Amino acid sequence: MADSEDGYLDPGILEELGNMQVRARRLVDGVLAGLHRSPHHGGSVEFAEYTEYTPGDELRHVDWKVYAKTDKYYVKQYEDETNLRAYLVVDGSGSMDFQSEDAELTKLRYVSFLASTLAYLFLRQGDAVGGLSFGGGERNYLPASSKKTHLEDLFFMLDRLPTGGTTDLGDALRTIAERAPSRSMVLVFSDFLDVTEPELNLLRVLTEQSRDVAAFHVVDPAELTLPYEGLRIFEGLEGEGDLLADPDDLRANYIERIREHMELVETRCREGQIGYHRFATTQPIEEVCLGFLRGRQ
* Residue 144: burial class (beta carbons within 10 Å; 0-12, 13-18, 19+): buried
| Res. 264 pLDDT band, cuts 50 70 90 | very high
Give the domains, in start order, of the chain with CATH numbers. Answer: 11-40+84-295 (3.40.50.410), 47-79 (no CATH)
Helix (H) or strand (E) holding 256: helix 247-271
Strands ordered across the beta sheet of 85-91: 138-145, 128-135, 85-91, 185-190, 212-219, 275-280
Closest CA to 191 of 297, 274, 109: 109
pLDDT at 41: 41
- 112 or 6, greater pLDDT: 112
Q: Cβ contacts of residue 88 below 8 Å, gap of 6+?
A: 115, 118, 119, 129, 130, 131, 132, 154, 158, 187, 189
* pLDDT at position 248 over 70: yes
* pLDDT at position 132 over 80: yes
For residues 275-288, give the mean pLDDT.
95
Calculate the average pLDDT of the chain.
83
pLDDT at 52: 62
Q: What is the pTM of this model?
A: 0.80
Residue 195's identity, in one-letter code, is: V
- 24 or 44, greater pLDDT: 24
For residues 134-150, give the mean pLDDT.
86
Report residue 138: phi and psi, to 5°: -110, 145
* pLDDT at position 61 over 80: no
* pLDDT at position 40 over 50: no
Closest CA to 157 of 108, 98, 107, 218: 108
Tens of pLDDT, residue by residue over 146-194, are: 988 899 999 999 988 877 767 789 999 999 999 999 889 999 999 999 8
For residues 76-101, give the mean pLDDT.
79
pLDDT at 236: 67
For residues 25-42, give the mean pLDDT.
68
Q: What percent of the chain has pLDDT over 90?
A: 49
pLDDT at 130: 96
Instruction: Say how far apart CA 191 and CA 279 lie, in whole Å.
Output: 10
